Amino acid sequence: MKRRIPLTLTLVLGIVMMIQFFVPHQFSQDFKNTALEWLRVIGGFAFIIGLASFITHHYTKIKHKKEGWVYSPIALGALVVMAVVGLIGRSPNMNWLPITVQGQQISVFTYLFANFFTHMMIPLGATMFSVLAFYIASAAYRSFRAKSLVSILLLVAAFVIMLAIIFYNVLPLGDLGEWLLSVPNMAAKRGILLGASLGAIATSLKIILGIERGYLGGTK
C-alpha cells in the first residue's frame, strides 16, 4: 500500500497531464492551472527538506568533530542571522526598529539584509567562482597538448574562439569563431540534445508506468 498509492498517483496524473496538453477545453485549462498551483505549493516544501538536511549535516559534523567541523557553526550561524534578518526585513508592513538611510526611514533589518547580501554574499560568491579561472589556466597549460589529430582540432578551435574574443574588431577572426559555433558546434550539440531528449522521454515513460521506481527511495 505504501508504494501502491504513489505509483497509482504517478500513473494517473502522468497520463492525465499528457492528454491535457492537447486539449484546449476550458475544463482542461482549469485543471492545468490547479495542478500548477499545487506544484508551486509542493515546491515550497522542498525548502523545508533542504533546511532540515543542511542543519542535520552540520550538526552531525560538529557532534563527531569531523574534518572542517569548525566551519559548521559559522554556516549555521549565518543561516540563522540571514533568516531572521530576511524574514523581518523583507516582510511588507513590518517596519521594526526604523533608521534613516539616505533620507529614507527603513527597518534596521531591511538595511542589514541588503548590506549582508550586497557586501558579503555577492563578493564571497564572485570570489569563489573567479577562483575557477586560475584552476582553468593551470589545467589548460598542463593538459592542452597537441598529441593527436582530435586534440589539435580542439586546440585550434579553442584558440580561434579565444582570439575572436580578444581581437573583437578583427573581422575574419570574429566571423570564423561564429562559424565554428554555429555550424560544427551546433550540429554536435543538436545531436546530443536530441539524444538526451529521447532519453528523458523514455525515462519519463518508465516512471509513469512504474518501471523506474528510484524516486520512491530504496532499491526494491
In whole angstroms, how far apart are CA 54 and each of 60, 75, 137, 213?
Answer: 10, 9, 33, 26
C-beta contacts of 49-53 below 8 A and 24+ residues apart:
none
Residue of 73, 75, 98 lying closest to 88 (CA atoms):
98
3-state secondary structure of 69: coil
Contact 110, 90 (CB under 8 A): yes
In the window 120-179, what residues touch other proteins (CB under 8 A)?
121-126, 128-130, 133-134, 136-138, 140-142, 144-147, 155, 159, 162-163, 165-166, 168-169, 171, 174, 178
Q: Nearest Cα to 210, choosing from 14, 5, 11?
A: 11
> CA 204, CA 3: separation in Å to the nearest integer?
18
Of 70 and 188, the one with the shorter C-beta distance to other proteins is: 188
Q: Which of residues 85-124 bind other proteins (CB under 8 A)?
A: 90, 92-93, 114, 117-118, 121-124
**Sole window of 8-16, 75-83, 186-194, 208-216 interacting with other proteins (rule: CB under 8 A):** 186-194
Q: Computed over its alpha carbons, how large is the radius of gyration of the chain?
A: 26
- Nearest Cα to 124, choosing from 75, 166, 164? 75
Cell numbers of 80, please?
540563522
Among residues 43, 172, 217, 218, the one that binds other proteins under rule CB under 8 A = 43
Task: Compare residues 100 and 130 and give the one whose CB is closer to other proteins.
Answer: 130
Per-residue binding string, other proteins, 44-83, x by CB under 8 A, is: x-xx------------------------------------
Q: Which is nearer to other proteins, 36 or 70 (CB)?
A: 36
Scan residues 21-40 and list those touching other proteins (CB under 8 A): 29, 32-33, 36-37, 39-40
* Site of interaction with other proteins (CB under 8 A): 29, 32-33, 36-37, 39-40, 42-44, 46-47, 90, 92-93, 114, 117-118, 121-126, 128-130, 133-134, 136-138, 140-142, 144-147, 155, 159, 162-163, 165-166, 168-169, 171, 174, 178, 181-182, 185-186, 189-190, 193
